[in-house]
Amino acid sequence: DADVTQTPRNRITKTGKRIMLECSQTKGHDRMYWYRQDPGLGLRLIYYSFDVKDINKGEISDGYSVSRQAQAKFSLSLESAIPNQTALYFCATSDPGLAGGVSYNEQFFGPGTRLTVL
């Protein structure tokens, strides 16, 4: 079974609709992230959470909200979807592990959700 799962994998919706993307992880990590990926722009951070009570805005949080329901679950909502939110969305988790004394904070990504807003 995958360590980081995202549902749905694909979604087509209309402008103005409310959409929720869900992420679950079995890695036991406290840190979770939501990114969007667009051609030519790479991965951009939307929100991140370092524990259930810690929610932080990323680079592009406008138009999005999140909910950290439990250590293992982190949901992303688009309150009123618009066409320029059409993108590939990734959830990721990390653990501030140490390797050789260095905290590299490797991030583990889910398979992505392809969202199309018409």
DSSP-based three-state secondary structure for 86? coil
Q: Does 34 bind another protein (CB under 8 A)?
A: no
CB-facing half-sphere around the CA of 40: CA atoms within 13 A: 0
Question: What is the rounded CA–CA span in Å between residue 60 and residue 57?
Answer: 8
For the segment 35-74, give every residue that binds another protein (CB under 8 A).
40-45, 48, 50, 56, 58
Question: What is the rounded CA–CA span in Å between residue 34 and residue 53?
Answer: 16
Q: Does 18 bind another protein (CB under 8 A)?
A: no
Q: Does 26 bind another protein (CB under 8 A)?
A: no
Nearer CB in complex with another protein: 69/105 = 105
For the segment 72-101, give every residue that binds another protein (CB under 8 A).
90, 92
Q: Does 4 bind another protein (CB under 8 A)?
A: yes
Question: What is the rounded CA–CA span in Å between residue 105 and residue 102?
Answer: 9
Residue 78 near residue 64, CB atoms below 8 Å: yes
Residues that bind another protein (CB under 8 A): 4, 33, 40-45, 48, 50, 56, 58, 90, 92, 102, 104-112
